[in-house]
Amino acid sequence: MRLFPAVFGAVCVYRLVIEPQVLPTLEAWCAGAGIETRKALPSVLREWVAPKARNP
């Protein structure tokens, strides 16, 4: 099964064509609704995991 090339192609098209058109509007909507947005996913994931790791 050759799924990887199709998935890779779809992700590339999304990141290069669709995301630049959608993301600014989505960020503006979030700002207007008072929803916090963050740029760095790894730091967000570390914040979610850290409290769980302290309380086994």
| Amino acid at site 55 | N
**Number of Cα atoms under 13 Å in the Cβ half of residue 14:** 6
Our count of domains for the chain comes to 1
Q: Which amino acid is at 37?
A: T
User: Which pLDDT score is estimated for 23?
Assistant: 86
Please check the confidence at residue 51 and state whether its pLDDT lies above 70.
no
Residue 53 has pLDDT above 70, yes or no: no
Which pLDDT does position 39 carry in this prediction? Answer: 80
pLDDT grade for 10, boundaries at 50, 70 and 90 = very high
pLDDT value at residue 44: 81
Q: What share of the chain is helix, strand, coil (3-state, %, to 5)?
A: 80, 0, 20
